[in-house]
Structure 1
């Protein structure tokens, strides 16, 4: 996943300037928070959260064979966590 530099904030910036970080998340969809130069958290806009919630609910409603079809359509480029069917199903149930 490529993260645009403008979508990254430090943990201390988040603490000091939450309102501006929230506004940035609203404009960009999400903001990645770094702590000690390592990924620590993601702040989603409510719009992005709702969009992802719909996708998660849809995935949870699928049968295993249909989940396989969805996985086949996922991009093959870049670094992605690889899932077995049981891992994907477990992750979706959490």
Structure 2
């Protein structure tokens, strides 16, 4: 996963300036919060959360073999595609 340095904030920045951090999350979809220079949390925009919720709900509905097929269809490294729900359904068939 590639993370833009612009999408990384410190825990103290989050505490002091939540509104600006929330706006940054809206711009990037998500921001990564560091505490003592270590990953601590991720703040998602509502749009990004809704997009991910579709995938989570779909994966929860799958049977074991379908999940294995889905996992095999994902790239192992490098740039990953953004999958739509229709794309996922077609990959599993």
TM-score bracket for this pair, using the shorter chain length: 0.7 to 0.9
Equivalenced residue count is 78
TM score, norm. by length of structure 1: 0.80
Q: Do structure 1's residue 13 and structure 2's residue 13 form an aligned pair? A: yes
CA distance in 1, matches of 2:11, 2:2: 20
CA distance in 2, matches of 1:75, 1:43: 25
| Structure 1 gap segments, 5+ residues each | 79-94
The aligned counterpart of 2:27 is 27
TM score, norm. by length of structure 2: 0.81
Question: What SS does the corresponding residue of 1:9 show, helix, strand or coil?
Answer: strand
Task: Name segments (4+ residues, structure 1) moved above 4 Å.
Answer: none
Q: Do structure 1's residue 58 and structure 2's residue 58 form an aligned pair? A: yes
| Structure 2 gap segments, 5+ residues each | 79-93
CA distance in 1, matches of 2:38, 2:2: 15
